Amino acid sequence: MAEQRYQKHPRTLSSQLVESVLQRLKLTALAAIAIGLMGCHTATRVTIPVASWPGFEYFHLAQAKQLDRKAGLELNTLSFPDPPDIVKAFEEGRFPIAQLTTVEAVDICSRQPKRCPVVVLILDESRGGDKVAVRRSLGTIPALRGKRVAVTPSTLGPFVLSRALARHGMSLADVRIVAVPLADMGSRLTNGQIDGAAFFPPFSDAVLASGEAVTAFSSAEIPGEIFDVLVVNPQYYRTNLNVLGRLVRVWQQAHDLADRDPEAQEIMARRQDVSAEVFRETEKGLIYRSLSEQRHMLLPGGQLERNLAAVLAVQKQLGLIRGRAPLPRVSTEPLDLALQ
């Protein structure tokens, strides 16, 4: 019996030892798999600077509603009160992605050819959002002859003003250009320091609502000329095409969400420190196009390429760009990935 018990005991001990080892191996394997899965699903962080403009708010909405996480992205939207600061940051390489006007994109190419951006998405077209306002006592564009008109040089301001003047047989040489930060234009119109200003919401809202100034010209009069676009540093573009495809898809998803969720406008308006009603009213001056609707515009020789060439010609005519300058490249690749 003793021998029998002795023979049983080693077999029981051996069995327990094997089970213990197998259990540890199983746990180790599961842990390794879990770590591997976590590594595979680590979100790609994408930082996007955001200026105060309704068309630039949809990545912020995507972040707030966690649409980015579902696409394997981690959006980081940074607020910039002054749009020229975003242009400067992009030129300096601090951000590889930016939301800019076509004028700003063309200007970057003239100053920093190596960072001449790739355009991958049309964010909006301005059809009334960009304005030239004049003091109520003046009332019209021709009345600005010889008067002080505020612009912010690195924005659309000079371009919009030049188009407004041209419609009345005038040029920038017929007015006194004053460089003024966007945030100060309303107050300077009110106190009479300037007679007109080229600006846009929310910077234009208060002074126009007060009646101290009136809109004498808007981008509604020049359809197809003013676009806001998503641009990418060329080096980042070459190495992050898949990320850009997901980013473009998330932008579309944010627009789809805004169409069905009333809270979306409230989220975007809150970041701009305006009411949802004001935000919706401002958006009436913008046209948004879905990915499928804008694809043909991004093709070689398409509307956006033609627009960029026209902007460059105007900037040269105004003396804002001298000599040879490359144009931003336009690509449908991220959009095509997003549509798959």
Residues 96 and 139 in one domain: no
Give the pLDDT of residue 43: 87
Residues 22 and 140 in one domain: no
Q: Alpha-carbon distance 124 to 106, whole Å? A: 17
Q: Which of 190, 221, 252 is the last residue of a domain?
A: 221
Q: Are 88 and 107 in contact (CB under 8 A)?
A: no
Q: Are 306 and 295 in contact (CB under 8 A)?
A: no
**Would you state the structure tokens that stand for residue 294, as one six-digit string?**
């804008």
Q: Tell me, what CATH number does 143's domain have?
A: 3.40.190.10
Residues 230 and 332 in one domain: yes
Q: Alpha-carbon distance 103 to 158, whole Å? A: 10
Residues 152 and 209 in one domain: yes
- 75 exposed, middle or buried (CB, 10 Å; 0-12, 13-18, 19+)? buried
pLDDT tens over the chain, length 340 residues: 433 333 333 334 344 444 544 454 444 444 343 334 434 458 899 999 999 899 999 999 999 999 999 999 999 999 998 888 999 999 999 999 999 999 999 999 999 999 999 999 999 999 998 999 999 999 999 999 999 999 987 678 888 999 999 999 999 999 999 999 999 999 999 999 999 999 988 889 899 999 999 999 999 999 988 999 999 999 999 999 999 999 999 999 999 999 999 899 999 999 988 899 989 988 998 999 999 999 999 999 999 999 999 889 878 877 888 889 999 999 999 999 999 9
Residues 230 and 122 in one domain: yes
Domain count along the chain: 3
Residues 232 and 323 in one domain: yes
Residues 234 and 329 in one domain: yes
Structural domain containing residue 199: 131-221
Residues 67 and 23 in one domain: no
Residues 36 and 81 in one domain: no
